[in-house]
Structure 1
Amino acid sequence: MDVKRLLATHLSSSEMEKVIRTLNDLGEGTGKFLHNKYPGFRQIGLDIGFDRTWTPWIIEVNTNPDPYIFNQLTDKSMYHKVMKYKRAAK
């Protein structure tokens, strides 16, 4: 399910945009940190959970994430982007 659709049932529009910005920052920051420590990683996947205040917590970092869940989304653009990165990593 698209993250906006998922969060829209729980948060106002402004709260949802703040959470999505936080998720983007968390993903980019984690990627940059891991790239500096382990330059060979081309893609990572983050499993994220939220506490009651909607603070995201990293549950797990996957260095070989399964991209096929993105193929279940109506908008296939993210799936195509992930597959492009996966092919570039080989």
Structure 2
Amino acid sequence: MNDKVFYTSSAVVALLMIALSLVWPQGLGTRSPAPFGHEVVLPDVVRAQREKAEREAKRKAEQAAERAAKAQAATEASASSASAQ
């Protein structure tokens, strides 16, 4: 085989392999980051777990605020009944 043909074809194959590596999925099935691949999207399971944790934290914060408001109202009521006597 002629050296000019061999080295030229080797260079072309190497460039094609480099170009393919820029857009081929990497890791465990995830796409390459932008600008070569698609935007990385969280799996539905992970997204659902995070949303559930956020809802739970919000619910607990609301319950704590309600308990604090009830305690404040109870102390004000006991203070007003004590001052009325």
**Is the structural similarity TM-score above 0.5?**
no
Higher RCO structure, 1 or 2 (CA under 8 Å, sep 6+): 1
More strand per residue: 1
More helix per residue: 2
For the pair shown, the structure with the greater C-alpha radius of gyration is 2
Give the alignment's TM-score, normalised by structure 1.
0.32
